[in-house]
């Protein structure tokens, strides 16, 4: 009987974790982990490490940017200097020319 109890408990735990992954972004910043509610229920960008992100990386995740701005978490977006961001933009243009 205890095996059935563990099975049902595992199913419930897995369901709750999947539901949480669909509803929240877990963002790893230089200040630690932040949780922000998602715009739509998907599994994309559930865990994101933004410690080294520049303009190029942020441009690939528009839903995450929208969610952060709507939830007044713009402090997560401004984590890098302008110089690092401009280097990323130039690298993107160089990659497109090749």
Task: Enumerate long-range contacts of 75-80, CB under 8 Å, 24 or more apart.
Answer: 76/27, 76/29, 76/34, 76/50, 79/29, 79/30, 79/50, 79/51, 79/53, 80/53, 80/54
- 31 vs 88: which has the higher pLDDT: 31
Tokens of 4: 């059935």
Is the pLDDT at 27 greater than 60? The verdict is yes
pLDDT at residue 19 in the model: 92
Q: Which helix (H) or strand (E) holds 1?
A: none
Q: How many other C-beta atoms lie within 10 A of the C-beta of residue 73? A: 15
- pLDDT 10s digits, 34-88: 999 998 888 888 999 988 888 888 888 888 888 888 888 878 876 454 455 556 6
């Amino acid at each position: 009987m205890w095996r059935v109890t563990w099975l049902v408990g595992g199913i419930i735990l897995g369901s709750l974790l999947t539901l949480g992954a669909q509803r929240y972004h877990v963002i790893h910043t230089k200040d630690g982990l932040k949780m922000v509610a998602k715009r739509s229920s998907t599994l994309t960008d559930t865990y994101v490490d933004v410690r080294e992100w520049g303009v190029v990386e942020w441009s690939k995740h528009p839903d995450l940017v929208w969610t952060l701005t709507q939830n007044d978490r713009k402090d997560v977006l401004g984590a890098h200097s302008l110089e690092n961001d401009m280097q990323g933009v130039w690298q993107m243009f160089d990659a497109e020319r090749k």
